[in-house]
Chains A and B, each alone.
Chain A
Amino acid sequence: MNELSFSFAGHDLRALGTGALWWPEESLLCVSDLHLGKAERIARRGGASLPPYDTLDTLVRLANDVEYTKATTVICLGDSFDDLDAASALGNREKLQIAALQAGRTWIWIEGNHDPGPVELGGTHLAERKLRSLVFRHIALPDGQAEVSGHYHPKARFRLRGRTITRAAFLFDETRLVLPAYGTYTGGLYSSDEALKGLMSDRAMAILTGQSPQMIPMPR
């Protein structure tokens, strides 16, 4: 699997091409915005009946990353479920998948705006988690330091030799790292959006996900 090493707040981190963050020293894998149960939630609310395979697909990809990294700690950085009802509506197959992933490792659910309360699944439920100098929370705070967050589903677009490439992307600067959304049914917010331009400093970088992750100055 392809990964890209980078240094953030004094730690050696790896961006995986799948959009997961890998911290070898802590054997920690972090993924954000899984949005499990999204298709179910849309149908429940009277929307279209989207292909109901998104949860399965997200979990299969997560299992691959866990297998690859042999992580002993997994942090899901919030919006793990599209809403709290979606968490309880998960099928048996998906619940078993999650249980299998959790077996033998520390599992942390960080609260997100979509899933602000505890879920009836294994693992620890936290608002945020500090580890060494890093803090893991769902939404970046204005004065956040050494902060790893998600929420914005960043993606980056840039032009090369007459074509435009758009990829989900990690964004990071001196003080914060924003993870791309990991869930199968998730869209993205361009790094050039005001919300992200305002959040990230002028020296921010973007790491494009994909077959081989690449780092570029964050497109503004």
Chain B
Amino acid sequence: MTQIPARITDWFTAKGWSIHPHQRQMFDRAADPATLLIAPTGGGKTMAGFLPTLAQLADGAHSGLHTIYVSPLKALAADIRRNLRGPADEMGLPIRIEDRTGDTSATQKKRQRVDPPHILLTTPESLALLTSYEDAPRMFAGVQRVIIDEIHALAESKRGDQLMLALARLQSLCPDLRRVGLSATVEDPQAIARFLARHPDPCLIVQADPGPDPDIRMLETQELPPWAGGGAAYAIPAVLEQIKQHKTTLIFHNTRAQAEIFFHNLWLANDDALPIGIHHGSLDRQQRERVEAAMVRGDLRAIVCTGSLDLGIDWGDVDLVIQIGAPKNVKRLVQRIGRANHRYNAPSKALLVPANRFEVVECVAALEAARAHDLDGEPRGAGPRDVLCQHILIAAAAGPFDADTLYSEMTTAGPFADLSRMQFDDCLEFCATGGYALRAYDRWQRLQQRPDGLWQLRDPRAAQRIRMNLGTIQDTDTLKVRLKRSRGGKPLGEVEEAFAASLTPGDTFLIGGQIVRYEGLREMTVEVSRRADKKPKIATFSGTKFATSTQLSDRILRMFAQPDWPQLPAHTTEWLTLQRQVSRLPNRDRLLIESFPDNGREHLCVYGFAGRNAQQTLGLLLTKRMEETGLAPLGFVATDYATLIWGLDAVTDPRPLFQLEALRNGLETWLAGNAVMKRTFRASATIAGLIERNTGGQRKSGRQATFSSDILYDTLLKYDPDHLLMQITREEAMRGLVDFGRIEAMIARIGDQIDLKRLNRVSPLAAPLFLEVGKVPVKGSAEERLLAEESARLLQEAGLESLASGA
């Protein structure tokens, strides 16, 4: 097809618009097997993706499913439905458009499988689920096109890997399937193209005009940013002033907890009662939808939000983006800024608000990088095998399969193009028998090979369990929060189980901008009551934490090396000067370590600037070595630039702690027993199907029936350390949470240039670390020491010390 149907061109003309060159190009390439469009927000990306579909459906001849649109967000699917419905009606196109996500009703879903719409808008998980049904071939018959929106975001996660496996399956069912990827500006478009392509087919890249550079600055405030903390409460008056001056403002935060606190503080100062809403992933769906609807109607002047609004929902008239807290990553900053001024060829306007003085430095570094178009990013390795295991199970749920065929199909997916047959067979073996050295489940194999060579589920009822546990998103176990009422009160949102466990009745916390009082736990629901009069204890939603990119960290260290800092505000310059006076500033080629007592404990602060994950690993490795040398570490906390370790004894000679050989040699054994590995194992074991999140109604059979995944990890470590899941865990940890590569690079750079500064109290630069969340306890001798002390104290308080006589 070379001609865009008149109905469509007429519509453009009637709107007074012209078809953008990249939209035309996408239309011309409609027959290519795969095309990647890189365009800024507001560049008519969605229309570019759908133009061929609308043209092909214009004559009304197609029956059944024609185009599947996949987006990482449920809200985006719903939004696109609205934004597509309008033009389709105005063009008079006879097209049925429906969305299908986790929020779609069961009746609607059932009907869609029997009688699918022309265009189905969905998420990676819902699509994978659809491929798991036996009737998938019938539902997908005749599908021509698949559009992956925000593919740059999906390509960074296991959700994307899962999607590509689902596409491989879809492509087998519909050989004519054409793939289209829609992406924001990225540093390596080729990598995304390889990810999207049906291997080994090519994938061409269409670049839209990137538009004018954004107008981006740091917010000027009367108040000084605080020494530490992430709340940015000092900036509230200045932010309110900006909201007043603009039509609609998006206020981005890095974590949900920070968004909650900021929202709370914003309302306390909102004397003009400007309509301001909050939106993040832990809020109840109805609440989120209400905010989204209000935003679309233009009823809100501002929304306090997190990454849940990172992606391209069309909010209409956003004319300002405010980023609270350092952006950590220049690419994401640029993409967030693109959310403002949703009109092509108008510069986006954005303000950065550092939450504390260190972040002033980070923000200035990020501004400089953004102006220089110096985007950052780390290449992603091969597709993870836990996702592959899940897809073998999904294939089995759809019906008996041939291993050779499945292997060929899976290796057409970009992330798995280099998967060896042996690796595939290991995964198949794991799915079938558990893959243990001790072959215990011959009678109870999950998958069995039939006499004709096909693999199938031993127990067909297992298909249901596989579907219920599908997905790669790891919600750290969350509990629903409801208002306490006689018959189940209003749902407010979710908090992490660990946070709920730390609450005692009477504690208060923030959720959805309200202060609530914890009343108790009932059937796995946190019951709360409204409480307007008390200061809240804070909900520690963890949210996603990104490590500051290497590029950005280097910029900061380069800035530290300057003799003075004309680009920084005076208060930050003073602070850095003070740090230089009482201690010194970290240097790219040396390692600064500070040692000081605080609040009855000894502290060690290591400024590695290696990013959050690597600093976390450094914390694990160092505390392990300190444990061995009897320094009784109690715990540590890591940020992007430093690790703070506290313990009972002071470190006087750090050099032995930092020998690369010793660190590397011990890494495997050290890591084996630590919490990060267990957390990684839990995630991978859940994705691979060893741990079931949902077992349908079994949860109420009592908590003593379930046991921690840590036990499984410990058991495998002891009896089957080379098991597939242990291999996957190590791989995952090394590239994700462990990030040992950045530690190696750091140690190679510094050699033995280590400077230990003994101070009599916390240094200016170390202070923010005390307020970091995510402290990791070290369960070593110090814990036993503390436990004994505490037990003695409690018994004494209770007047019971005569009862115990430890032998």
Contacts and interface: CB of A to CB of B under 8 A. Distances in A.
Q: Is the A/B pair a real complex?
A: yes
A212 B703 CA distance: 26
A124 interface: no
B440 interface: yes
B436 interface: yes
B476 to A, nearest CB: 15
Counting chain A CB atoms within 10 Å of each CB, the highest count among B441, B444, B461, B775 belongs to B444
A4 B807 contact: yes
Contacts of A184: 711, 715
B786 A50 contact: no
Counting chain B CB atoms within 10 Å of each CB, the highest count among A49, A159, A208 belongs to A49
Contact of B436 (A52, A159, A215): A52
B108 interface: no
Counting chain B CB atoms within 10 Å of each CB, the highest count among A48, A157, A185, A208 belongs to A48
B790 interface: yes
Counting chain B CB atoms within 10 Å of each CB, the highest count among A51, A165, A187, A211 belongs to A51
Given A184-B711, A185-B711, A188-B704, A164 B440 contact: no
Contacts of B794: 216-217
B268 interface: no
Given A57-B715, A165-B783, A188-B703, A49 B441 contact: yes
A50 B806 CA distance: 37
A91 B438 CA distance: 11
Given A3-B807, A184-B711, A215-B803, A51 B436 contact: yes
A163 interface: yes
Interface string B661-692: 00000000000000000000000000001111
A54 B715 contact: yes
Interface stretch (A39-47, A66-74, A102-110, A129-137): A39-47
A126 to B, nearest CB: 23
**Chain A's interface: helix, strand, loop or mixed, by majority?**
mixed
B444 A49 contact: yes
Interface string A193-220: 1000000000001001011111111000
Nearest to B787: A214
B446 A49 contact: yes
Interface string B701-718: 011111110011001101
B438 A53 contact: yes
Interface string A167-208: 000000000000001001111111001000000000001001
Contacts of B716: 51, 53
A95 interface: no
A138 interface: no
B434 interface: yes
Contacts of B296: none
B790 A5 contact: no
A54 B718 CA distance: 11
Contact of A160 (B443, B708, B786): B786
Given A5-B807, A216-B794, A51 B800 contact: no
Contacts of A161: 786, 790
Contacts of B737: none
A52 B691 contact: no
B562 interface: no
Given A4-B807, A5-B807, A50 B795 contact: no
Interface string B394-434: 00000000000000000000000000000000000000011
Interface residues of A, number: 53
Nearest to A208: B787
B502 A164 contact: yes
A133 B369 CA distance: 78
A152 interface: yes
Counting chain A CB atoms within 10 Å of each CB, the highest count among B702, B708, B806 belongs to B806
Given A7-B803, A152-B704, A185-B711, A215 B465 contact: no
Contacts of B798: 217
A215 B795 contact: yes
Contacts of A14: 807
A53 B434 contact: no
Contact of A6 (B440, B707, B715, B804): B804
B801 to A, nearest CB: 10
Contact of A187 (B459, B695, B705, B787): B705
Contacts of A43: 434, 440-441, 444, 446
Interface residues of B, number: 56
Contact of A50 (B695, B712, B783, B790): B712
Given A44-B444, A188-B703, A217-B794, A56 B719 contact: yes
Given A6-B804, A43-B441, A48 B692 contact: yes
Given A160-B790, A217-B800, A48 B689 contact: yes
Contacts of A158: 790
A6 B803 contact: yes
B791 A186 contact: no
Nearest to A43: B444
A187 B708 contact: yes
Contact of A51 (B635, B720, B787, B788): B720
Interface in B30-52: none
B707 A214 contact: no
A3 B805 CA distance: 10
Given A53-B715, A184-B715, A215-B791, A48 B704 contact: no
B106 interface: no
A94 B445 CA distance: 21
A165 B803 contact: no
Contacts of A165: 783, 787
B713 to A, nearest CB: 9
Contacts of A56: 719
Nearest to B430: A49
Contacts of A50: 434, 690, 712
Contacts of B791: 208, 214-216
B777 interface: yes
A5 B690 contact: no
A153 to B, nearest CB: 4
B501 interface: yes
B723 interface: yes
B84 interface: no
Given A160-B790, A216-B794, A49 B706 contact: no
Given A3-B807, A5-B806, A211 B689 contact: no
A187 B795 CA distance: 27
Given A43-B444, A51-B716, A217-B794, A186 B707 contact: yes
A193 B787 contact: no
Contacts of B291: none
A143 B118 CA distance: 68
A57 B635 contact: no
A153 B708 CA distance: 13
Nearest to A183: B707
Counting chain B CB atoms within 10 Å of each CB, the highest count among A56, A162, A214 belongs to A214
B533 interface: no
A2 B788 CA distance: 13
A187 to B, nearest CB: 4
Contact of A157 (B501, B691, B777): B501
18 contacts: A3-B807, A5-B806, A14-B807, A40-B441, A46-B458, A46-B459, A46-B461, A48-B446, A49-B444, A49-B690, A50-B434, A51-B715, A52-B438, A54-B715, A161-B790, A205-B800, A210-B787, A214-B787
Given A39-B440, A50-B712, 5 more contacts: A6-B805, A186-B707, A187-B706, A188-B707, A215-B795
Interface of B: 433-434, 436, 438, 440-441, 443-446, 458-459, 461-462, 465, 501-502, 635, 689-692, 695, 702-708, 711-712, 715-716, 718-720, 723, 775, 777, 783-784, 786-788, 790-791, 794-795, 798, 800, 803-807
Q: Across chains A and B, which 7 residue pairs bring their CB atoms closest together, nearest first?
A: A49-B434, A52-B440, A187-B707, A153-B704, A43-B444, A46-B459, A214-B791
Interface of A: 2-7, 14, 39-40, 43-44, 46-54, 56-57, 91, 152-153, 157-165, 181, 184-190, 193, 205, 208, 210-217
